[in-house]
Amino acid sequence: MSSTQTPSETQPHASTPKTRANRPATRDLSRPEWYLNRELSLLEFNRRVLDLAKDQKVPLLERLKFLCIVSSNLDEFFEVRVAGLKEQVTHGVEQRGADGLTPSELLARIAMLTHQLVHEQYVVLNQSLIPQLADQRIRFLKRADWMPSHIRWMRRFFSRELLPLLSPVGLDPAHPFPKLLNKSLNFLVTLEGTDAFGRPNGTAIVQVPRSLPRVIHLPVRNVAWPHDFAFLSSVIHAFVHQLFPGMHVTGCYQFRVTRNSNLFVDEEDVDDLRRALEGQLPERRFGDEVRLEVADNCPPDLVYFLREQFHLDARDVYQCHGPVNLHRLMAVPDLVDRPDLKFQPFTPGIPTTPVPSEDWFDAIRQGDILLHHPYQSFAPVTEFLRQAATDPHVLTIKQTLYRTGADSAIVQSLVDAARGGKEVTVVIELRARFDEEANIELAHDLEEAGAHVVYGVVGHKTHAKMSLVLRREGRMLRSYTHLGTGNYHARNARLYTDFGLLTCDAAIGRDVRTVFQQLTSLGRPGRLKHLLQSPFTLHATLLKWIGRETDRAKQGRPAHIIAKMNALLEPQIIRALYKASQAGVKIDLIVRGPCALRPGIAGLSEHIRVRSIIGRFLEHSRIFYFLNDGDDRVFLSSADWMDRNFFRRIEVAFPVLDKTLRQRVIDEGLRPYLEDNTHAWILHRDGTYKRQTPGRRAARSSQQWLMNKLVT
């Protein structure tokens, strides 16, 4: 693409590049007011997701899913981000971040914003989603709405399915307050009377097993209402007295406690990382308490009682006008057969190859293959590895795995290859958060099959997405490589936007072999020709490329940077972008989640625009574009622009060398997002986002446009 046809030519936000003579005086780029806070920006991201739960143009059951996603995101936010801040405060760490906030100050801001966000969630549920679902004959029945037939059925259900599983704990000197599982559903029950031993026990705790569904699909008895649901909490509340025969229940209040879920393993001090993590995983369920969710009708004295048990402040208490775990409502759309209330299903397209062939090795030899998920199928990747596992000419398969999902076809191919006598080396990242247990089991299964399993480099998570197949072809040993921006997870490949590249380019193959050598062995392998790698060259090279665009702008030449990613937080990169903007470089940033850069500040960042695309699919691809004097430089990567990705992870960024495929990345991965005016939120300098609307212009949705273009 020439310098006169840049992807942002339709975005009139940048003025003529300033020359050295008229550009503003240099500012102190380290001042806190130039940076937004990561945690507060994450909360803004969840506010954007919640906006989709309100959007009348989104199918109704999908809106319910977006509400559940916010709940799940907030769970992880408290388990990891808030828990980490609380640890810092406990240990007296009050170091200010780039934005100038101390952990204590930040916790106060978080509490204020999350209380507002949680309140808004329940308003959306109770005042919008539940009434509109009822209009579609999908009801969530309150106890007051139960008919006699409902009551009879639920009484039997409680006696048969719930009563045998529930073990109430009466609180007295012999039964102290129990240690409750992280995020488990519990009830605080108040009682009058005496039990069989004459004890006037006034309080009990009932913990609900996680195996029980939180919403119960009632049997169809009335054709007019084919989908009636009851909350498990309502059923337990109605019949909880059966757990305390001879006593009178005076109150029953649901609550849930969220705990610190960070794992603490000193990698320098352990001989076996897998065994150390196995020992830590049970502790995650009983970490320090960080949040209490409780029914909004719970009396203040009982809320205080729970706070005291969990050593929490008043601001850590979230009163819920409905189920305390909205995420469990995610099961409802799967229980309701209403395609008209869901996104229209689609079949991902299969990319065309220069020479049609069922042999993926032959297809890749004809030319590089670019895959754009979820619009194009992930099947070529799984089929490529399946063929590699059974091909007698394949000698070696090397693979990184971060998240795979259950019953992974790729894992099965690796197992088959190892059992078939091929040399299989798998780098499994055991510390992929919340997938540690699954990855430990995965490592065990692969070792049992005869694969070599390693866990990367101590102190660095292996986040790179790479497959390498070495195949004997005559007298030549050829490398076939897959590189991607997303995980080897077939289900996520239908939900996340990602790019993947299949190539047999010899230089890229050598680079990938070098990275695998670093991950599995010792020593100092040579330099990489095409790939950029964290923690060695990626950060420095990006700074260099940003600097080159800056120099071109100072000389009055066209300069343009476009970057798409999940998060932008690293201060050195942000300062380099500020300098580029001051020089007049056009900078378009497509950042789905948290962004610490403040755009649109005169004399600092007026040439920078930041947008976030939130829609049906989770935007996950990372694309780095530099105009480079009209010789477009395009890289795809597994890395966001964050400290951890640059300095504490093994990441790779890979070039798209084929000009046609490079143009495809620009046309599919960048241009539609810069033109989107229906699912784009624009970041303002104060850290807030405003959703774009088409107005009088034609509506443009990047994801819908890509579905129309690529989906069969």
Catalytically active residues are 463
Instruction: Provide the 10 A C-beta neighbour count for residue 26.
Output: 9
DSSP-derived pairing of the beta strands 227-231 and 138-140: parallel
Conformation bin of residue 407: beta by default, left when phi > 0, alpha when psi is -120 to 50: left
Measure the CA–CA gap between 525 and 541, rounded to whole angstroms.
19
Residue 307 exposure: Cα atoms within 13 Å on the Cβ side: 15
Measure the CA–CA gap between 578 and 29, rounded to whole angstroms.
8
Residue of 477, 491, 506 lying closest to 393 (CA atoms)? 477
Measure the CA–CA gap between 306 and 636, rounded to whole angstroms.
49
What would you measure as the largest C-alpha separation in the chain, in angstroms?
91
Tokens encoding 471 = 């195949």
For residue 376, what are the contacts with CB-CB under 8 A and spacing of at least 6? 348, 349, 350, 351, 710
**DSSP of 158-195, one letter per residue?**
IIIIIGGG---EE-BTTBPPP-PPTT--EEEEEEES--
Return the DSSP state at 253.
E
Measure the CA–CA gap between 648 and 463, rounded to whole angstroms.
10
Angle between helices 409-419 and 379-390 (to 10 degrees): 10
Whether residue 496 is annotated as binding a ligand: the answer is yes
Whether residue 403 is annotated as binding a ligand: the answer is yes
Return the DSSP state at 26.
P
Coil/strand/helix, residue 487: coil
Tokens encoding 519 = 């991950």
Tokens encoding 546 = 């940003």
Q: Are 112 and 43 in contact (CB under 8 A)?
A: no
User: Alpha helix locations (H) across 614-701?
Assistant: 643-647, 659-664, 671-675
The partner residues of 484 in beta bridges, in order of sequence, read: 500
Instruction: Provide the 10 A C-beta neighbour count for residue 222.
Output: 11
φ and ψ at residue 205, rounded to 5 degrees: -115, 135
For residue 592, what are the contacts with CB-CB under 8 A and spacing of at least 6? 45, 565, 566, 567, 612, 613, 614, 618, 619, 620
Measure the CA–CA gap between 543 and 563, rounded to whole angstroms.
13
Burial of 450 (0-12, 13-18, 19+ CB in 10 A): middle
Whether residue 620 is annotated as binding a ligand: the answer is yes
* Spacing of C-alpha 557 from chain mean position: 39
Whether residue 73 is annotated as binding a ligand: the answer is yes
Instruction: Provide the 10 A C-beta neighbour count for residue 644.
Output: 18
Coil/strand/helix, residue 275: helix
Rounded alpha-carbon distances, angstroms, from residue 203 to 169, 194, 239, 242, 652:
9, 12, 17, 15, 56
Give all strands (DSSP E) within 237-390, no chain letters: 248-259, 289-295, 317-320, 369-373
Whether residue 227 is annotated as binding a ligand: the answer is no
The partner residues of 562 in beta bridges, in order of sequence, read: 588, 625
φ and ψ at residue 111, rounded to 5 degrees: -60, -45
CA angle 686, 687, 690 (to 5 degrees): 100
DSSP-derived pairing of the beta strands 618-619 and 496-503: parallel
Tokens encoding 138 = 């999908």
Residue 515 exposure: Cα atoms within 13 Å on the Cβ side: 35
Name the binding residues for ATP: 73, 496, 592, 620
Q: Binding site: residue ranges? A: 73, 403, 433, 496, 592, 620
| Annotation: binding site for Mg(2+) | 403, 433
